[in-house]
């Protein structure tokens, strides 16, 4: 069966520090991969998605970037964190069928101080 | 602009008190409507996919239905363990758009 791992679960970082959140998927090949951010009381906001190694699409301009160095690995990064980057970050995968559901990891709670 | 609106924002039920959650949407080219359950501090867990008006899906005490403009998640005789936030999402030709969710609390 497929599993998705996301770490760390919680992170507290000072303003201006770098960020690296990692997500890996097991049990499937060639998945679509996604990074979402969830703000309290609001819907999930798509940040990045990837349909293959090295292929990244950005949905919103921001202080973040994403990379996909391997088929089942997705990384969310920042060179210098802002206070506004605080939030709950979720990684998800889906099969290549555009009508298929997303399967989420358990998220990373990021607090920028 | 494509939109997904969920109501109510919060719902408190007594154990055994059935009710429904609503997800209304305006999208161009609906390719699927999805329901998720999210527990505090966790990622959303996939429940159902509905593809066409009139379709229904069931899982234990939950039943999801779909019309051309909205979807309902019916909860029959809920238990405290059904307490969670329920998210609705629609997949159009471009992306998946999520509603803000309904926070359900079931009291014993």
> Under a CB-based contact definition with an 8 Å cutoff, are residues A83 and A112 in contact?
yes
pLDDT score recorded for residue A109? 95
Topology adopted by domain B3-107: Immunoglobulin-like (2.60.40)
The angle at the Cα of A38, spanning A47 to B55, to the nearest 5 degrees, equals 90
Of A43, A90, A99, the CB nearest to B31: A99
Model confidence at A98: pLDDT above 80: no
Element (DSSP H or E) covering residue A21: strand A19-26
Find chain B residues with C-beta within 8 A of A103's C-beta: 46
Q: What's chain A's average pLDDT?
A: 92
The angle at the Cα of A92, spanning A94 to B39, to the nearest 5 degrees, equals 120
Q: CA neighbours within 13 Å on the CB side: how many for B105?
A: 6
Of A42, A46, A90, the CB nearest to B95: A46
Tokens 């629609």 locate to B90
Query: In chain A, what is the straight-line distance between the N-terminal and C-terminal CA atoms, in Å?
Result: 38
- Of chain B, the percentage scoring pLDDT greater than 70 comes to 98
Residue A45 belongs to domain with CATH number: 2.60.40.10
* Any A CB within 8 A of B78 CB: no
Q: What is the tally of structural domains in chain A?
A: 1
Tokens 């890996």 locate to A24
Residue A107 to residue B51, Cβ atoms within 8 A: no
Distance CA A107, CA B92 (A): 25
Model confidence at B94: pLDDT above 80: no
**pLDDT tens, position by position, B65-78:** 999 899 999 999 99
pLDDT score recorded for residue A61? 65
pLDDT score recorded for residue A113? 96
More reliable by pLDDT, A97 or B37: B37
Range of the domain at A95: 3-112
Residue A41 to residue B87, Cβ atoms within 8 A: no
- Shortest CA distance from A41: residue in chain B: B100
Mean pLDDT computed over B67-93: 94
């Amino acid at each position: 069966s497929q599993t998705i791992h996301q770490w760390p679960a919680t992170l507290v970082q000072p303003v201006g520090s770098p960020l690296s959140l990692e997500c890996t998927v097991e049990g499937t090949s060639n998945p679509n991969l996604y990074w979402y951010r969830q703000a309290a009381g609001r819907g999930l906001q798509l940040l990045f998605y990837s349909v293959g190694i090295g292929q990244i699409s950005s949905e919103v301009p921001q202080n973040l970037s994403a990379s996909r160095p391997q088929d089942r690995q997705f990384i969310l990064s920042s060179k210098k964190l802002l206070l506004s980057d605080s939030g709950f970050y979720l990684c998800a995968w889906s099969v290549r069928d555009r009508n298929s559901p997303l399967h989420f990891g358990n998220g990373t709670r990021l607090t920028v101080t | 602009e494509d939109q997904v609106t969920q109501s109510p924002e919060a719902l408190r039920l007594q154990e055994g008190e059935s009710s429904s959650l609503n997800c209304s949407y305006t999208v161009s080219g609906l390719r699927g409507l999805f329901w998720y359950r999210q527990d505090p501090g966790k990622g959303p867990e996939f429940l159902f996919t509905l593809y066409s008006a009139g379709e229904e899906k069931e899982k234990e005490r939950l039943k999801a239905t779909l019309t051309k403009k909205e979807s309902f998640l019916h909860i029959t005789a809920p238990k405290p363990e059904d307490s969670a936030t329920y998210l609705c999402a629609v997949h159009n030709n471009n992306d998946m758009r999520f509603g803000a969710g309904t926070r359900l609390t079931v009291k014993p």
